[in-house]
Structure 1
Amino acid sequence: MLARIKALRSGLRRSEQKVADLVLNRPNAVISAPIATIAEEANVSEPTVIRFCRAIGCAGFQDFKLRLAGSLASGIPYIYSGVNPGDRAEDLSAKIFDRAIATLVQVRNHVNTDALERAITLLANADRIEFYGHGASGIVAQDAQHKFFRLGVPTVAYTDPHIHSMSAAILKPGSAVVAISHTGRSADIVRSAELAREAGADVVAITACGSPLAEVSSVALFADVSEDTDTYTPMTSRIAHLTISDILAVGVALRRGPDLVKQLEKTKRNLAEKRVQGDPA
């Protein structure tokens, strides 16, 4: 929850940002405080506190407090100490591993399972699936396509905005798009998602809560990870996106049933022919 608030803060109203700052600075105090106290401490009205809760994806004030308490109860810090030039390999390793683990736990604890169920259903019933992404998200899109193409559905991954915009415009009902963006604010990705919806296709977004991409999608799966992607190459957000695409691929595979098992066995046999035979020892 703290990672989500930090990621969404810049898009909130100025009065809501005051509530966000209070929560980020004093999360444990907020858990036990009534709404009137929070409003007074943040110097805002009580309705503003409720609007803040809804703006970050909660049903209301009580839902927000429950989810915040669950986040803090995990005992895993939402921000890890940055690496330093003098770090030894063991320090660097520990920091990067801890950050990756904490990110996956955060996303797991806040994943909307109802949205996951809807996304899996859409993809399992699709007669064509296209994956869109740019930069690091483009690599995630290609990885997802590599998982899905073996499931017996025509798939393709596009990382060029001109190509996926043209493809989105000519999709047909029954097709599906998986649009991947950490910020959800890439204008080209958002526009292609809009074009796909206008063409009658469904759009599953893997993105940030409250983002423009989430707003135009059929189903949004949130991976709210605190990461400065304007300066640094996405790392932990990419891991979260890869894991969500794994969940979708496994879910679709299970939905497609016994016929898919036979197909996967056939591909495994073909791969076996390409391996050098011999004793691994």
Structure 2
Amino acid sequence: MDDLPINTPPEHGSGDADLRQTSALLGRIEASIGDLRKSERAVAEFVLGRPNEVLNISIAELAYRVGVSQPTVARFVNALGFTGFKDFKLRLAQSLASGVPYVHRDVGPDDTLDEVAPKVFNRTIGALISVRNQLDAVRLERAVELITRAGRMEFYGVGNSGIVATDAQHKFFRFGIPSVAYADPHTQGMAATLLEEGDVVVAISASGRTPELIRACELARDAGAGVIAITASGSPLSRVANVVLAADVPEDPDVYAPMTSRIAHLAIIDVLSVSVALASGPELIKRLERTKQTLRDKRIRGFEN
């Protein structure tokens, strides 16, 4: 297999790809809060609450306002992958200038039903726009190449991500690629060992920290298969994948079921399937038309729109 991992962030100054990365910066900060130390988390919360103020103060002033040391601020920016505070402020400025709506209003226990719907929709819309701008065209092209050459596709996800994996398999089997979705970790591990060179695994995980899923992807790569991960950038899962389609989507802490991450993952699957269809040419279009005709034949007559 042509082993070409491209799961590293774009280099500084890489134009559109660089802007796509920075436009999701506030979302990345919020998504990383759970992995930070308590003092670093305080810095993150200050940045999230007052991003414009941060642009106009020094590292010493930020440390003073948060009540932490300057090395703590330095560790915070390093944890996000930046070389220093100046680099971080530059990216933050680009993020705020990109026009991506950032919704930091979660659903609370005192919200009325009139307030719930707008908040849920606004957070989802903001997350989708952020992921759209973050999606890297080079990585997407590489993922499409792996899929169009695949002899077999397997979709892995655990829990809520298992439902997304099933949806993905429902799309891709129509392309004539033998495909299956597994949501059970034990089955994923066994199936991964049976893959061959040229096969492809698409692993889906909001956190990218499920040990069994990561192990299954390692086994798939050992067998010669390519691994495409739809997950958080910088996560353990992203580090074992050949290609990462990043989705840095923070969830509302007061809602106890994943929502925005699931919708973002489904959207990435849609982008991937449409891209594969376009890359596969007219023959695939004819095959898809035949499957569509089969569905038409199963519908009640007289109600077509």
TM tier, smaller: 0.7 to 0.9
Shift of 1:60: 6.9
3-state SS of 2:196 partner:
coil
Aligned length: 278
Aligned to 1:138: 162
Shift of 1:85: 5.4
After superposition, the C-alpha distances for 1:171-212 in whole angstroms (9 at most, x for unaligned) are: 111001010010111111111111111111111111112211
Aligned to 1:252: 276
Aligned to 1:79: 104
Contact in 1 for aligned 2:203/2:229 (Cα 8 Å): yes
Aligned to 1:103: 127
Q: Structure 1 length as normaliser, TM-score?
A: 0.86
Aligned to 1:220: 244
Shift of 1:132: 0.3
Shift of 1:80: 2.1
Contact in 2 for aligned 1:205/1:217 (Cα 8 Å): yes
Shift of 1:68: 2.4
Superposition map of 1:1-281 within 5 A: 1-12=25-36, 17=41, 19-33=43-57, 43-45=69-71, 49=74, 52-53=76-77, 55-57=79-81, 64-73=88-97, 74=99, 76-84=101-109, 87-88=112-113, 90-227=114-251, 232-279=256-303
Shift of 1:71: 3.5
Contact in 2 for aligned 1:132/1:179 (Cα 8 Å): yes
Question: How many Å separate the matches in 2 of 1:119 and 1:54?
Answer: 29
Kindly provide the amino acid, as one letter, of the partner of residue 183 in structure 2.
T
Shift of 1:5: 1.1
Contact in 2 for aligned 1:6/1:24 (Cα 8 Å): yes
Question: How many Å separate the matches in 2 of 1:230 and 1:167?
Answer: 36
3-state SS of 1:3 partner:
helix
Gaps spanning 5+ residues in structure 2: where? 1-24
Segment drifting more, 69-78 vs 255-264: 69-78
Contact in 2 for aligned 1:83/1:95 (Cα 8 Å): no
Contact in 1 for aligned 2:123/2:260 (Cα 8 Å): yes
Residues 254 and 10 of structure 1: CA distance in aligned 2, closer, same or farther (over 3 Å): same
Kindly provide the amino acid, as one letter, of the partner of residue 275 in structure 1.
R
Contact in 2 for aligned 1:2/1:78 (Cα 8 Å): no
Question: How many Å separate the matches in 2 of 1:141 and 1:204?
Answer: 12
3-state SS of 1:191 partner:
helix
Segment drifting more, 64-73 vs 134-143: 64-73
Q: Structure 2 length as normaliser, TM-score?
A: 0.80
Q: CA RMSD in A?
A: 2.8
Gaps spanning 5+ residues in structure 1: where? none
